[in-house]
Structure 1
């Protein structure tokens, strides 16, 4: 019987899905990143037993996070972390960011964000389909940079 991984193992799990989801030597694109992110998003982890303890975030827009404005698609998984008394301590977020040189077309997409929480009783399928539709304009565009990281917030 396999054990349920802890949120601290999530970054490695996402990296594994990204590596497994594309042929060797091919770059990461929205077309191959999205299915890998969904496989990662459907994997069960052992988050804190609190409402909204395990969520998926899809967001994009033109942002200047690095000193240069880039159109950024940020695919995030967020886990609630509690202290020894079971009180909220922080969130652990695992990010996959696809950054594109801004163009009038990409800037015309504006900004968007949407959450899905595993414990909210909904089906991830309709949410995933709707988010995939928003990625279609990026499927054939190579990102300028790709960042994969985790942070405490």
Structure 2
């Protein structure tokens, strides 16, 4: 689609948006990352209608070893084959991983999606999530690790 970047440029654009080319992921704070992630989310990529989604999720998970509280800002692109049928998804993540202290564990699990090409508006979605009660709790803790990566699912 005219004016849209190819999906294979999305990871580079996410790194640029989060770090402005200067800041390492470890230096990110969740508030700044959220604002930059939403700005990145407003940049459209060449996908089929409904194939571009943003996700904010958190919870305590043990994916790669001991449990960690993870705040994950993710963008997902649906990749279709030559016939226009679903082939796979590409997901870009900015994850903040924390020691699972009781205050963070008490937040439980949460996820909320936004998809372009729907009746929802990105700014309204982002403002609603930006005002949720988990932010003040997360702000009081320092992440153990910040990871920015892409995966195919």
Query: How does the TM-score come out when normalised to structure 1?
Result: 0.89
Superposition pairs for residues 126-137 of structure 1, below 5 Å?
126-134=124-132, 135-137=135-137
Gaps of 5+ in 1: none
Sort the Cα spacing of 1:23 and 1:64 in 2 relative to 1 into closer, same or farther, 3 A.
Answer: closer
Contact 1:29 1:141 in 2 (8 A): no
Sort the Cα spacing of 1:136 and 1:118 in 2 relative to 1 into closer, same or farther, 3 A.
Answer: farther
Alpha-carbon offset, residue 103 of structure 1: 0.7
Alpha-carbon offset, residue 7 of structure 1: 1.2
Gaps of 5+ in 2: none
Superposition pairs for residues 85-96 of structure 1, below 5 Å?
85-96=83-94
Query: How does the TM-score come out when normalised to structure 2?
Result: 0.89
Alpha-carbon offset, residue 136 of structure 1: 3.3
Equivalent position of 1:113 in the other structure: 111
Q: Paired residues, what number? A: 150
Alpha-carbon offset, residue 67 of structure 1: 0.5
Deviations 1:62-117 (A, max 9, x none): 00011011000111100110011111100111111100111110001000001000
Alpha-carbon offset, residue 139 of structure 1: 2.7
Out of 80, 83, 104, which is 1:82 matched to?
80
Equivalent position of 1:148 in the other structure: 148
Q: Aligned equivalents of 1:114 and 1:71: distance in 2?
A: 17
Structure 1 runs of 4+ aligned residues shifted over 4 Å read: 21-24
Sort the Cα spacing of 1:22 and 1:102 in 2 relative to 1 into closer, same or farther, 3 A.
Answer: farther
Q: Does 1:12 align with 2:16?
A: no
Q: Please provide the CA RMSD for this pair.
A: 2.2
Sort the Cα spacing of 1:3 and 1:120 in 2 relative to 1 into closer, same or farther, 3 A.
Answer: closer
Alpha-carbon offset, residue 132 of structure 1: 1.4
Alpha-carbon offset, residue 22 of structure 1: 8.1
Equivalent position of 1:64 in the other structure: 62
